[in-house]
């Protein structure tokens, strides 16, 4: 097989990859986000189960359901914001570090985002992480906080 034929195959494979990549990314992104939401929900349920005694004590001391729910949601929101910011900087740093390698391996031009685009991307990442944590936290917290304090403390 000569060099020209291999180059043509590589070009055809790249064209095929670029043609199907948006659908591939869309399908896998939805799956990854779904798995992440399930895992966040499971971890949050475990965390709330560990907080049952504290929630019962707070409720017995007169804290309302809304106050207890707000405390747990605020903790989850702080963790989500911290995780979103950390993830954004790790990915940005990794891209900057490996940008030349990515360009060389893919043969595509560097498509680094402008500062405003980076800001919008970071805002979207933070919004997604914050929204997913709040949604995943809300159900277990409401379930535990709505129970009578005496029943929660007995467990």
Residue 121 or residue 70, greater confidence: 70
95 within 8 A of 112, measured Cβ to Cβ: yes
The pLDDT of 78-96, averaged and rounded, is: 83
Quick check: 41 and 130 in contact, CB under 8 A?
no
Interval 92-142: pLDDT, tens: 888 788 888 777 776 767 666 777 887 887 888 788 878 878 887 787 778
Token pair 């949601």 is found at 73
Q: What is the pLDDT of residues 12-69, one digit of tens each?
A: 676 676 667 667 766 777 787 778 778 877 887 787 777 778 888 888 888 888 898 8
Of residues 95, 110, 105, 101, the one with CA closest to residue 14: 105
**Which domain covers residue 17, as residue numbers?**
3-154
Q: Dihedral sign, CA of 37, 42, 45, 46? A: negative
Q: What's the structural domain count of the chain? A: 1
Measure the CA angle with vertex 70, ends 69 and 72; round to 5°: 65
């Amino acid at each position: 097989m000569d060099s020209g034929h291999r180059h043509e195959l590589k070009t055809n494979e790249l064209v095929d990859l670029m043609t199907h990549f948006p659908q591939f990314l869309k399908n896998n992104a939805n799956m990854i986000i779904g798995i992440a939401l399930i895992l966040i929900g499971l971890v949050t349920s475990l965390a709330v189960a560990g907080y049952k005694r504290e929630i019962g004590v707070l409720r017995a001391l007169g804290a309302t359901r809304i106050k207890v729910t707000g405390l747990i949601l605020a903790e989850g929101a702080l963790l989500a914001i911290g995780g979103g910011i950390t993830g954004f900087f790790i990915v940005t740093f990794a891209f900057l570090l490996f940008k030349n390698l990515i360009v060389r391996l893919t043969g595509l031009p560097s498509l680094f985002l402008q500062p405003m685009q980076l800001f919008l991307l970071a805002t979207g990442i933070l919004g997604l992480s914050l929204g997913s944590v709040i949604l995943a936290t809300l159900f277990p917290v409401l379930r535990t906080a709505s129970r009578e304090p005496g029943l929660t403390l007995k467990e």
